[in-house]
Amino acid sequence: AEKEVAEPEVRMVNGKPKKVRKPRTIYSSFQLAALQRRFQKPQSLALPERAELAASLGLTQTQVKIWFQNKRSKIKKIMKNGEMPPEHSPSSSDPMACNSPQSPAVWE
């Protein structure tokens, strides 16, 4: 339902055309906690559930999809290096993963 047909903006850099990227998404601690909780579930995120989660967090479906892709990639990389996944050990890079208070999944 969220189709953006607009062409990406192009800017000239050193005489070469370069696409202007969207700014990086900054997630609130509430959004991160909810995404993290959903990520703990073993089954993958189905499309209707992704739409619902995105709507409840005030994010786009694409943002939710990308967050999950990045999280899976990060865990894969950690596992490859033979370390414990962040769910099982406190991680300094992701303080919200361990010590955030449980907040309701949907606020209305």
pLDDT band at 13 (very low <50, low <70, confident <90, very high): confident
d(CA 86, CA 94): 8
Outline where the chain has alpha helix (H). 29-40, 47-57, 61-80, 96-99
> What fold is seen in the domain 25-37+44-81?
Arc Repressor Mutant, subunit A (1.10.10)
Domain ranges of the chain: 25-37+44-81
Residue 84: band (very low, low, confident or very high) from pLDDT cuts 50, 70, 90: low
Rg (CA), the chain: 17
| Rounded percentage of the chain residues whose pLDDT exceeds 90 | 42
pLDDT in tens, 21-68: 888 899 999 999 999 999 998 888 899 999 999 999 999 999 999 999
